[in-house]
Amino acid sequence: MFKNTLYFDNFPLSTISAYASRINDELESGEVGYYHLTDTSQILVNESLEFIKGKEHIKNIVLVGMGGSSCGVKALRDMLFDEKQNDRKLFILDNTSSHSFLEIIKQISLENSLFLITSKTGSTIEVISLFKLIIAHFNIKEVDFHKYFVFITDINSKLHKESENLGIKCFFIPNNVGGRFSILSAVGIVPLCFCGYNANSLLQGAKACFEDFFKHKKDELLQKAYHYCTHKNANINVLFSYSDAFKGFNEWYIQLIAESLGKKQGYKRIGLTPIALIGARDQHSFLQLIMDGPKNKTITFLKIKDSTKSLHIPNICFKFLDSLSNNVSLHDLLNAQCDATMHALIAENLSVDVIELEKLDAWHCGYLMYYYELFTSLCGIMLGINTYDQPGVEIGKLILKNLLEGVKKG
């Protein structure tokens, strides 16, 4: 069960139905491929499981990727910590930091590791640089590359061409699927299958979200996107996630919203600014600003209903310390903190909604991630921008290449 409750007034469907029509047009056009991954990635699950079959010696999967090639996988690894069917460890190298590189490399040995070099364009300089560092660190001979590396990229990209040159297995991302919308493509499905996560259930959850929106015409998502995009005062959306398991998801949410919705429109600058918090910890830092600071924020609460595995607070009493939480589960305490904070913000007349997951499993994670991809697409349509490009990022990449050329010449 996935439930989204909106604590603000709904708009008449006649006001927002045009946006539903436009996203249907986008779906039917075939130009935006992530919509269809719930179906097309089924064959990829079988291909991934077939490839890894019989490779019991592999104990470590190391994904090397940046941005859209890593954020979603990190989110699912964190959320599905309790749902694995083998003992393979999933490591993620997603920064050109010597500290991060050495911290992961020292935990693995070459003979029981497989590296997933992931780049949609096949030319991400950070990914290619880390690929070369791995080769040099382990002194891997070219003739053995196929044993230790798998490439995930677009068809006909530079990385694809190199895979053919080196004899390395390649899994493909559809050309019409953007990087930050690629979690249900080979970017996510391949490492999840290799590490024993339930990729089929993930796709089924995403498919349920697709059907709720496009087939059953549930309008909570449409109402939410329109309210947040047309809010007179608030252009900051705060995601307040109540569990440490959502840490990676929060990072993915920030990348998805920021890179998709921060755009120029002529001389006008448009966007929703994402902020991601973890409850209840961040109630003791950022909450004060939301409560009493400028009312320029909308707030989404994210919580998990199931608490069957939660620890219970013991019935220990002290003379000077309160006993309010005695015999209460930690999970129930966490959700009570979520509800209390939510109602305090509603009382301040802030725009609030809450997402409730029945439990944290692959199905609900698939639904949640597809929900936010749809939310982002809807917001892009409502803001009148191109949701799927990132011209500001491309400028930085060009400057980096010029700087590196200068370093070489120097």
* Structural domain boundaries in the chain: 2-27+202-383, 32-197
Q: Read off the pLDDT band of 391 (50, 70, 90).
A: confident
Bond from prior residue into 280 cis (ω within 30 degrees of 0): yes
Q: What pLDDT is attached to residue 151?
A: 98
Q: Read off the pLDDT band of 83 (50, 70, 90).
A: confident
Q: Inform me whether the pLDDT recorded for 365 exceeds 90.
A: yes
Q: What pLDDT is attached to residue 249?
A: 98
Helices 391-409 and 125-138: crossing angle, nearest 10°? 50
Q: Which segments of 263-310 are extended strands (E)?
A: 263-265, 268-270, 273-278, 297-304
Q: Read off the pLDDT band of 370 (50, 70, 90).
A: very high
Gyration radius of the chain's alpha carbons: 22
Q: Are 305 and 361 contacting, i.e. CB atoms less than 8 angstroms apart?
A: no
Amino acid identity for residue 392 in this structure: G
Q: What kind of fold does domain 2-27+202-383 have according to CATH?
A: Rossmann fold (3.40.50)
Distance in angstroms (rounded) separating the CA atoms of residues 94 and 37: 24
Contacts of 178 (CB under 8 A, 6+ apart): 32, 34, 68, 120, 388
Residue 157 vs residues 151, 175, 400: alpha-carbon distances, Å? 11, 10, 20
Tokens linked to 205: 């959850």
Q: Read off the pLDDT band of 306 (50, 70, 90).
A: confident
pLDDT digits (tens, 9 = 90+) for 101-132: 999 999 999 999 999 999 999 989 999 999 99
Whole-number average pLDDT of the chain: 94
- Cβ-count burial of 84 within 10 angstroms (0-12 exposed, 13-18 middle, 19+ buried)? middle
> The whole model's pTM is what?
0.95
Q: Average pLDDT for residues 84-105, to the nearest whole number?
A: 95
Q: What pLDDT is attached to residue 359?
A: 94
- Which one from 259, 263, 297, 373 is the annotated catalytic residue? 259
Q: Inform me whether the pLDDT recorded for 387 exceeds 70.
A: yes
Q: What pLDDT is attached to residue 264?
A: 86
* 227 is an active site residue: no
Q: Are 301 and 354 contacting, i.e. CB atoms less than 8 angstroms apart?
A: yes
Contacts of 275 (CB under 8 A, 6+ apart): 236, 237, 238, 239, 254, 286, 297
Q: Inform me whether the pLDDT recorded for 410 exceeds 70.
A: no
Q: Inform me whether the pLDDT recorded for 371 exceeds 80.
A: yes
* 99 is an active site residue: no
Q: Within a 10 A sphere around the Cβ of 34, how many other Cβ atoms?
A: 23
Distance in angstroms (rounded) separating the CA atoms of residues 351 and 298: 5
pLDDT digits (tens, 9 = 90+) for 330-361: 999 999 999 999 999 999 999 999 999 999 99
Q: Inform me whether the pLDDT recorded for 406 exceeds 70.
A: no
Q: What pLDDT is attached to residue 52?
A: 97
Tokens linked to 75: 């989110």
Q: What pLDDT is attached to residue 311?
A: 87
Let me know if the fold of 2-27+202-383 is the same as that of 32-197: yes
> Considering the chain, what percentage of its residues have pLDDT values greater than 70?
95
* 397 is an active site residue: yes
pLDDT digits (tens, 9 = 90+) for 11-64: 998 889 999 999 999 999 999 999 999 999 999 999 999 999 999 999 999 999
Q: Read off the pLDDT band of 173 (50, 70, 90).
A: very high
> Considering the chain, what percentage of its residues have pLDDT values greater than 90?
85
Confirm or reject CATH 3.40.50.10490 for domain 32-197, answering yes or no.
yes
- Which one from 57, 141, 284, 409 is the annotated catalytic residue? 284
Q: Inform me whether the pLDDT recorded for 99 exceeds 90.
A: yes
Q: Inform me whether the pLDDT recorded for 405 exceeds 80.
A: no
Q: Average pLDDT for residues 260-275, to the nearest whole number?
A: 91
What φ, ψ does residue 274 adopt, rounded to 5°? -90, 135
Lowest-pLDDT choice from 115-119, 187-191, 195-199, 394-398 = 394-398
Distance in angstroms (rounded) separating the CA atoms of residues 410 and 407: 5
